[in-house]
Structure 1
Amino acid sequence: MEESCNICNTIWLGLTNTKSRDKINLGSVDEILSSSCSIHKSLFQRYKHSSEYHQRSNVEFSPRSDVEFSPRSESESARIHAISGCDWHPLLVKRSSVSDHPGIGRILDPDWVDINLARQWKDKCLTEHGTKCHNPLKIWKTRPAWLIDVNDKCIVPGQNIEEAFVALSYRFGDHPSYKIDADSWSKLQRDNALEMPWVSTYLSPMIQHAMHVTSIMGERYLWADALCIPHHDRDVSTQQLQLMGAIYGNAIVTIIAMDTDSEEGLPGLRGISRSREMYQEVIPFGKEQVVVRNTYGIQVIPDMLYASRGWTYQEYIHSSRKLFFREKELHWQCSCSIWHEETIFGEEVDMFADNPMSDIPNGFPDLLEMSKMVSTYNEKQFRYNQDALPAMSGLLSVASRTFTGGFLYGLPEMLFDYALGWRYNILEMGELRRRKHSQKQNASQLHPSRLPSWSWIGWQGSVNVWADETVRIMPDWNRIQETFPITEWYTADTPNATVSERRLIRSTWFTNRERYKDPNTPLPPGWTRHEESTKREKVFLSLEGYRGPIFKHEAMPEAEWCYPFPAPDISESTPPAMPEQTAYLFCETRRAYLRAWRTRKPLTSTEKEIVELWDAENGKVGVLHYQNPRQAGHFPYYGEVPLGKRVELVAISEYKACEATWYEENEEYGLPIRSGEYIAVLWVEWKDGVAYRLACGEVEKEAWDKLASERISLVLG
């Protein structure tokens, strides 16, 4: 580079300075390209070309302050950014011939992965990170029923093996699935069985390649669902599916194939698979070289095919050490570090962690964490809709140790009366559609596979669940509610179950909450009472029994809670506690009929349609939250039809709520606070004596009490 060139010197400092985090203004692109220095000109000519190549042809460069160079820091690599242009993350290539050279980038083989890094990364993590990366979710010790022995090329009983095992996470793709029968299963247990020609039907290229990677990492055993779950044995397969979260949590490393499916395998394994055909941008910079990163961080992007599949979600979350094949390169992520093939060994340029389950493993029922996971998961795709619960059962099992009583078809039993009121997330794009069982002949028969209308499991799409109940205090709250049960809920596997055959669902949160509202009741172990919250920054939301003291637990000193509760001390020896998954609900409640019209009301900065509920005296008494925009089309606009649409509503709970006022001009919430008491209702339709949920809503309690409601025995399916 030109030592007298200020731009070159600035770029050099940005590429090599590990302490500064300040952005450096290089001026306009026109100024940079008009310079007499050919060294940095070549860099930015390639940058401009890359911007256009990435379909950003309408690149407009402001005449000033439009190019920034962010120096490399502990949290990110350097970044070149221009208005309307793409981001570049350049790395200075390490020159081994120069002593103490500051470069951290590597020029990679375009055809073959440096697979030996997998073993080096694993050993470095085990040696230097120790317990920090061992089982951060505190998952109980689990051995898979079956494992692949990559040395003897066969499947072996996992219960007899104490050695570590590697897990494989990938998407199957749109390829035919094959179920291994009992006879073939027996043959697969013979030495070298996986090398027999007839096994190719079951042994996909992905599993073959993962076996090779497992061996390279110095491990002998691999777990892959397609070959290690005996689907011919329903009891064992059901058990293994429920333990999938624990299986991935117990794996020493999980191999994650983000770019390819089962038949494409893992490209770039020399002598094993095809070339990876990777392109790496390498640019001369005087005597130096700069490479442009193909990836930035390891976060899972929703539109990635891997991330769009339902089965991969819990696999990703529960894996403590991850070996990624992504963007045709190799990457590593654990609780302490992120390493990339494109950087020299041990160098860190990203510190991004995206595991959404952090507080739940510590015994705290964080509804916001659980809500985000459920909403993210419920937008994913399945080959068979009835896999919606089996693909989530591992994650729910892990969370069941915190949510007392576990989950019934995805709803936490300890908060069941509240959880039934989940709704469609109207602020997100897309819609909520009813999941229906696949009628294909070879459809999955995993258990449990029901799709009840009362659970979000029975619907696909973005859902708004469990974020408003007064459990943990959040600084940006604009709405809270406090739910009160009005009936007892029971469940059974058939709609005709007798009273003695039904199981009572115990909503223990509400019982404990009322108990600890009494200031004379001793606090559970670990809790302290405080008179004021430090998290109420702009809006002071309050409910009877909530305003005033807040509570903290010694295990989470920064978190504030509305009420104390018995927090389980979760460790690796704490087992899951999931109830039998039965698909019908029973209760004694009240039913009423109201009229409904469609209207337009402003929600945040956009116009959204809602359905208003009116009584016989032409008074608005409530709102219906439809499941998707198309459902709103079933309702007439106000005044179009004299009596509106008649809807049947059943009460599921009572609640108090308060909500801040949204000010559009300032784009913020503030005073005054609106509060009220409501009855949570479901809009239902009946078929053969069973009611099915169509939507949820609320009716003002005072108005509900005046309606001509009737007592009914409700059966929800």
Structure 2
Amino acid sequence: MITQSSIQPALGSTPDSSVDGLPSNVATPPSACDLCERLLQLFNESSTIRCFDLGPLDSAILTDCPIHKRLLESYISRCIQNDPDPAHWVDDVTFTTQGNVVEVERSHMGRTFSWELLLAKKDADADHIGKGVILDPDWVNLDLIKQWKNQCLSFHGDKCDNPLRVWRTKPAWLVDVKQRCIVPGLKADSFVALSYRWGDAIGVSMNDESLVKLQEPNALDDPAFAAFMNPMVRHAIHLTSFLDEQYVWVDRLCIIHGHEDTAEQLSLMGSIYASATITIIAADGVAEDGISGLRDVPHSKPRDLKQTRVPFGNELILGRNTSQFSMDSGTPYYERGWTYQEHMLARRKILFNQKEVHWECQCSQFHEELLPDAVLDIYIEPRLQEIMAGFPILDSFGLIISHYNDRNLRYDEDALPGIRGLLAILSRSFTGGFLYGIPEMFFDRALGWEPSFGDTNLRRRVPSKRPKHEQLLSDSLPSWSWIGWQGIVEIGSEASETDHRQWGLEETIPITEWYTGNSADTPKASQRRIKSSWYENRELWKNPETALPAGWSRHTFDSEESMGSREQYLWPDGCNDYVYRHNGYSGSILRPGDTWYFPFPVAEINESTQPCMPEQTPYLFCKTRAVEVRAYRTSYGNMLSLHDGLGDQVGELHLHNEDHLQRFPTAEADRTGTLIKLISISLSYSHSKTRDKETGKWGKPHFRESHYRVLWVEWEGNVAYRLASGLVNETQWESLQPQEVDVVLG
């Protein structure tokens, strides 16, 4: 076991100068300091020491103890990569234990610089508490992958077998790794899927002629088909065989372009990844690179892993290359649009990420650098599970969309195809599905989406010039949908789930009827009515005399001790005294509880529940009201202040980008402002708390306000195009004398 003496270097010994690239001529003290001993205790999961503050970094680095000084120097070298200014090193440094991982962290000006550390296991000492593994810098330990797979299949059961309750999908075609050819997917009860980046080289596509020849046994070894067999495909085939699986789905070989089932297979991509027994996530490199670190596998190069190793007396501390929240970031793979739904929907993942291999399922995360029995905090994305439990949580959907919409696509018009499979799966909880990514059951609110932050710049997507027959779906990118704009967006929320930490809550009131059609000239009789079903029965759901829908129970508020003071609590209109629970929802690590303001029907989703995706028609029609206001830029981000003819402020507008901002003056520079036209799309009732300037906490008094949610539009012919969304005070809107208009949004 570790003792104080165990961190004493032998007198006269010299740490390996190649380790961490730090100087080796550090004098070693006769004994360790108290801080070193406390730090080592953090690696012991049974220790009572869980956290301690080292004080300002610029002072801590002046220590006389060379043992923890070297660790701090390593931390500084890591910080310099993100913030090279030593003037910022005045912030306190904190060491916190997370099971067998210790996190060293400091924050400056809202930015956090953290680093996760492991204590290397001494193989010769069975009682040693270290859980870190010194890795081979060149080759992956593939035996771990098979061990992780077997552990999940043997012990996790239904939790990992089909967590999203997706209908079982068998791809049209699969690669048979034993026969080395393409076979019909109906033959396979189990298959592996590959998720990767193509890179700049698009390569050849499968067609009917290639398909016929590739169905012959050993066809994949024929040099005539080398163009289909890039290193990534070859390595996926090798790994599939190593995992004792016979079939693997690879888009390059299993989607036949121009074939009668091409469109169907593309729409099923989400369920294909959700149905795969395992998905190989090749987050490092592109198709022509393949997967590095596969020993004795052709075209697989040594991975050249740099593992930070810091001598700590007679111990060795390892710096992690990944962290709790970095399993979905860190390489260009996580910047590509097409890989998003593949990663999100995979139920079991083998991740080749930042030159290490990892495992993630619904129950566990395993890492090559950690012993299998290591205890650590894990984070597994909960939002899909919330929605797939039947709960149409609008802000959870919004976060899923936002992470996707900031990614890059080779062709802008692929914005909808790139997430269509995920939307199809989510549609089973969102009644009516999605129209160009807008949930129809919340259409009146979600149409008012906006950039996530005041300084967020959205880019208008533009269809490419590639031939129509090569496009996956219509190239429409409507201005009214977030699909038409690249960047992080906020869809909005509706007051349903309780959260006493919220500073405010909002409910939407429909004010018009929305219709959709294929063209701007679609006659009224051919337009389809969009049904915002959430709002139809909401008042009935709030009534405590209404019979509870299946699965719900009613509770008096006073019995909910975990909700905090009633004096600080916000209630939507019509709700009070009661909260509700559902037996199918266990809450989330992102949320404080599992109670709701009112009950509502919850979808019962299982493998037989089919998606509901309406025809994707790009034009909207409504009869609403319009006003003209004067707009001025403000001092914050891409925000406009809206004013009436007398100069009184009536609302604000959130522009899509700073290019639009250039069209507006400040009030000081031009008192007349810029005249713009707004249309109303819904009414918003909001409740908010007051923030105490001294404590920073939210409390009473509470405010109730009502605003019209509006769009700034500009007309081209008879079609209006969206440029921004915002709010106008209800009373002041009416004073602007709005005029009724028929609107076609394109």
- The question of a shared fold, defined as TM-score above 0.5 by the shorter chain, is answered with yes
Query: What are the equivalent positions in structure 2 for 1:667-682 lying under 5 Å apart?
Result: 667-682=696-711
Instruction: Tell me how far apart the structure 2 counterparts of residues 286 and 507 of structure 1 sit (CA, whole Å).
Output: 65
Query: What are the equivalent positions in structure 2 for 1:3-14 lying under 5 Å apart?
Result: 5-7=31-33, 13-14=41-42
Instruction: Tell me how far apart the structure 2 counterparts of residues 5 and 445 of structure 1 sit (CA, whole Å).
Output: 69
Correspondence 1:205 to 2:240: no
Cα contact 2:631–2:675 (8 A) shared by 1: no
Correspondence 1:481 to 2:509: no
Name the % identity: 38
- Range with bigger deviation, 638-647 or 7-16: 7-16
1:604 alignment partner in structure 2:
none
One of 17, 22, 27 as aligned partner of 2:50: 22
Instruction: Tell me how far apart the structure 1 counterparts of residues 545 and 95 of structure 2 sit (CA, whole Å).
Output: 60
Cα contact 1:424–1:462 (8 A) shared by 2: yes
Instruction: Tell me how far apart the structure 2 counterparts of residues 417 and 99 of structure 1 sit (CA, whole Å).
Output: 63
One of 582, 586, 590 as aligned partner of 2:617: 582
Cα contact 2:632–2:674 (8 A) shared by 1: no
In the superposition, the TM-score normalised over structure 1's length comes to 0.89
Instruction: Tell me how far apart the structure 1 counterparts of residues 668 and 107 of structure 2 sit (CA, whole Å).
Output: 50
One of 422, 425, 435 as aligned partner of 1:395: 422
1:94 alignment partner in structure 2:
122
1:513 alignment partner in structure 2:
538
Instruction: Tell me how far apart the structure 1 counterparts of residues 394 and 185 of structure 2 sit (CA, whole Å).
Output: 35
Alpha-carbon displacement from aligned partner over 1:173-194 (angstroms, at most 9, x marks no partner) = 2223433232223222222222
Q: Structure 1 661/438 Cα, relative in aligned 2: closer, same or farther at 3 Å? A: farther
Give the drift of 1:6: 4.4
Alpha-carbon displacement from aligned partner over 1:118-138 (angstroms, at most 9, x marks no partner) = 111101111122222222222
In the superposition, the TM-score normalised over structure 2's length comes to 0.85
Alpha-carbon displacement from aligned partner over 1:197-220 (angstroms, at most 9, x marks no partner) = 232323321121111111111111
Query: What are the equivalent positions in structure 2 for 1:394-433 lying under 5 Å apart?
Result: 394-427=421-454, 429-433=455-459
Instruction: Tell me how far apart the structure 2 counterparts of residues 83 and 512 of structure 1 sit (CA, whole Å).
Output: 47
Instruction: Tell me how far apart the structure 1 counterparts of residues 549 and 105 of structure 2 sit (CA, whole Å).
Output: 53
Give the drift of 1:678: 2.5
Instruction: Tell me how far apart the structure 2 counterparts of residues 426 and 276 of structure 1 sit (CA, whole Å).
Output: 39
Give the drift of 1:82: 8.3
Instruction: Tell me how far apart the structure 1 counterparts of residues 106 and 547 of structure 2 sit (CA, whole Å).
Output: 60
Q: Structure 1 26/656 Cα, relative in aligned 2: closer, same or farther at 3 Å? A: closer
Correspondence 1:456 to 2:482: yes
One of 195, 198, 206 as aligned partner of 1:180: 206
Cα contact 1:149–1:155 (8 A) shared by 2: yes
Q: Structure 1 418/105 Cα, relative in aligned 2: closer, same or farther at 3 Å? A: closer
2:721 alignment partner in structure 1:
692
Where do 5+ consecutive residues of structure 2 fail to align? 1-5, 9-29, 587-592
| RMSD (Å), alpha carbons | 3.2
Letter in 1 for 2:619: Y
Give the drift of 1:305: 1.3
The 3-state SS of whatever aligns with 1:360 is helix
Query: What are the equivalent positions in structure 2 for 1:65-464 lying under 5 Å apart?
Result: 70=96, 74=99, 76-79=100-103, 87=115, 89-95=117-123, 97-162=124-189, 164-233=190-259, 236-272=261-297, 273-282=300-309, 289-297=316-324, 299-300=326-327, 302=329, 304-427=331-454, 429-440=455-466, 445-464=471-490
Give the drift of 1:570: 1.3
Q: Structure 1 21/676 Cα, relative in aligned 2: closer, same or farther at 3 Å? A: same
Alpha-carbon displacement from aligned partner over 1:612-631 (angstroms, at most 9, x marks no partner) = 33334444333222222331
Q: Structure 1 13/665 Cα, relative in aligned 2: closer, same or farther at 3 Å? A: closer
The 3-state SS of whatever aligns with 2:443 is helix
Letter in 1 for 2:634: R
Alpha-carbon displacement from aligned partner over 1:365-406 (angstroms, at most 9, x marks no partner) = 112211111112111111111111111112211111111111
Letter in 2 for 1:600: T
Give the drift of 1:46: 6.3
One of 620, 629, 635 as aligned partner of 2:658: 629
2:628 alignment partner in structure 1:
594
Give the drift of 1:431: 0.5
Instruction: Tell me how far apart the structure 2 counterparts of residues 624 and 33 of structure 1 sit (CA, whole Å).
Output: 53
Instruction: Tell me how far apart the structure 1 counterparts of residues 425 and 447 of structure 2 sit (CA, whole Å).
Output: 21
Cα contact 2:278–2:349 (8 A) shared by 1: yes
Instruction: Tell me how far apart the structure 2 counterparts of residues 662 and 10 of structure 1 sit (CA, whole Å).
Output: 39
- Range with bigger deviation, 670-679 or 47-56: 47-56
Instruction: Tell me how far apart the structure 1 counterparts of residues 104 and 553 of structure 2 sit (CA, whole Å).
Output: 49
One of 638, 643, 649 as aligned partner of 1:614: 643
Letter in 1 for 2:629: R
Q: Structure 1 359/144 Cα, relative in aligned 2: closer, same or farther at 3 Å? A: same
Instruction: Tell me how far apart the structure 1 counterparts of residues 89 and 708 of structure 2 sit (CA, whole Å).
Output: 56
Instruction: Tell me how far apart the structure 2 counterparts of residues 291 and 100 of structure 1 sit (CA, whole Å).
Output: 19
Q: Structure 1 103/383 Cα, relative in aligned 2: closer, same or farther at 3 Å? A: same
The 3-state SS of whatever aligns with 1:93 is coil
1:714 alignment partner in structure 2:
743
The 3-state SS of whatever aligns with 1:206 is helix
Q: Structure 1 131/546 Cα, relative in aligned 2: closer, same or farther at 3 Å? A: same
Instruction: Tell me how far apart the structure 1 counterparts of residues 61 and 120 of structure 2 sit (CA, whole Å).
Output: 23
Instruction: Tell me how far apart the structure 2 counterparts of residues 78 and 53 of structure 1 sit (CA, whole Å).
Output: 16
Where do 5+ consecutive residues of structure 1 fail to align? 36-40, 602-606
- Range with bigger deviation, 450-459 or 542-551: 542-551
Cα contact 1:317–1:356 (8 A) shared by 2: no
Instruction: Tell me how far apart the structure 2 counterparts of residues 517 and 54 of structure 1 sit (CA, whole Å).
Output: 52
Alpha-carbon displacement from aligned partner over 1:568-596 (angstroms, at most 9, x marks no partner) = 11122222111111111112222x33122
